[in-house]
Structure 1
Amino acid sequence: MHKIAKSKFVEMFGEPVLNTKGWDVKAVIDVCDCMVPGRDKPKSFTGDIPWITIEDLIINGITFKSKSNLGLTDDEINEVKRKKVPEGSVLMSCVGNLGICSIAGREMIINQQLHSFQCKNINNIFLMYYLGFRKDYMLSKASSTTVLYMNKSICNSIPVYQPPIELQNQFAEFVKQIDKLKFVLR
């Protein structure tokens, strides 16, 4: 089903890498706020606020929980000086397999392999799919020691084009209809 959504994306917005429709382009940080977690890992996981890693992401979907059922309490979150990622944020892998994206289905805590964007002037579903098309940019900018890595400034500099928000919202509604259909077909 995601192939249908990707095909619709290209139909509506043109080829993402080449920007064939000539949309204005901005750095993602110009249309989103961002949150990057620290490196401290919690000592315990005794709560119900999900601790999310790359493996937990529902690719081009909505992530609600940790597959290993790891969760934190507010005290555990404060102990490692983390902030909760708001529901609706776009989550993106920035280590290893770059550009895996999902949307936070609830408040959660992410590990240091993820970057989150809180959309201001862009639709979160549009951004999630768009970022998935920009692995070329990510690979060209990532540093590589033993594993590919994008730091905060690289993540925030990803160029994103700006079609009208109404068109972005139409695409998001199309994706939601596909997701409903997937649910019915199960």
Structure 2
Amino acid sequence: MGWKVTTVGQVTTDVRYGTSAKANDDGQYKYLRMNNLTYDGYLDLSDLKHIDVSDEELEKCVVRKGDVLFNRTNSTELVGKTALFDLDEEMVIAGYIIRVRLHDIVSPVFFTRFMNMEFMKKQLRSMAKGAVNQANINAQELKSIAMYVPPIELQNKFTDFVKQADKSKYAIDQFIKSLHVAKDATA
């Protein structure tokens, strides 16, 4: 296709680990942990903890809309889970997650979907270093991954398509849930 081939490190402006501070129930910030990233690239906010961090540490571990989250430590099957943070509020990430900020030549939606492609998941599993029940991919290894960079106009069209597909999926999920509620009410 004639697309530029580069590395993750060359398309990022910042690649940073989260905090190792302890979570609590009433901290100032919502705290994203590895269980908050789904295998298929979304956020699951159903089980959130909270955390307090100093203003100095906050900039190192805060996530903002458009950041991409990469699960660097997990089981071999789940290491490398990647999700787009597309919320309007700031949250803090745990140390098992890497925050990725991208240059404007790469769409965060495109990057997230690229990292969640099956061939990428296989590559991530093969490059992960194993320990007892855990596998790890560090920031330098993440930055070394080769990737294609289609023209940004094509990435933006892809992003629009993904957003529309996600809206449709959400509507279908809501409809199915309402059917289950209606069925349970008549049972």
- TM-score (norm. length: structure 1): 0.76
Distance 1:130 1:56 in 2: 19
Whichever structure has more strand as a proportion of its residues is 2
Distance 2:35 2:47 in 1: 9
Q: Counterpart of 2:115 in structure 1: which amino acid?
A: L
Alpha carbons 2:72, 2:98 under 8 Å: kept: yes
Alpha carbons 1:95, 1:150 under 8 Å: kept: yes
Distance 2:56 2:32 in 1: 15
Task: List runs of 5+ in structure 2 lacking aligned partners.
Answer: 175-187
Task: List runs of 5+ in structure 1 lacking aligned partners.
Answer: 1-20
1:88 paired with 2:63, answer no
1:78 paired with 2:78, answer no
Matches within 5 A, 1:1-186: 21-32=1-12, 33-38=14-19, 40-42=20-22, 44-60=24-40, 62-63=42-43, 65=45, 67-72=46-51, 76-78=52-54, 81-82=57-58, 83-96=61-74, 97-104=78-85, 105=87, 106-120=89-103, 121-133=105-117, 134-146=120-132, 147-185=134-172, 186=174
Structure 1 position 42, deviation (Å): 2.1
Structure 1 residue ranges (4+ consecutive) displaced by more than 4 angstroms after TM superposition: 58-62
Two-structure CA RMSD over aligned residues (Å): 2.3
For the residue of structure 1 that corresponds to 2:73, the secondary structure is coil
Task: Number of aligned residue pairs: give it.
Answer: 161
Offset from partner CA, 1:98-119 (integer Å, 9 cap, x none):
2212111242111122112112
Q: Counterpart of 1:29 in structure 2: which amino acid?
A: G
Distance 2:111 2:32 in 1: 20
1:8 alignment partner in structure 2: none
Distance 2:17 2:131 in 1: 20
Distance 2:111 2:23 in 1: 33
Q: Structure 1 residues 43 and 95 mapped into 2: Cα distance closer, same or farther (>3 Å)?
A: closer
* Max Rg structure: 2
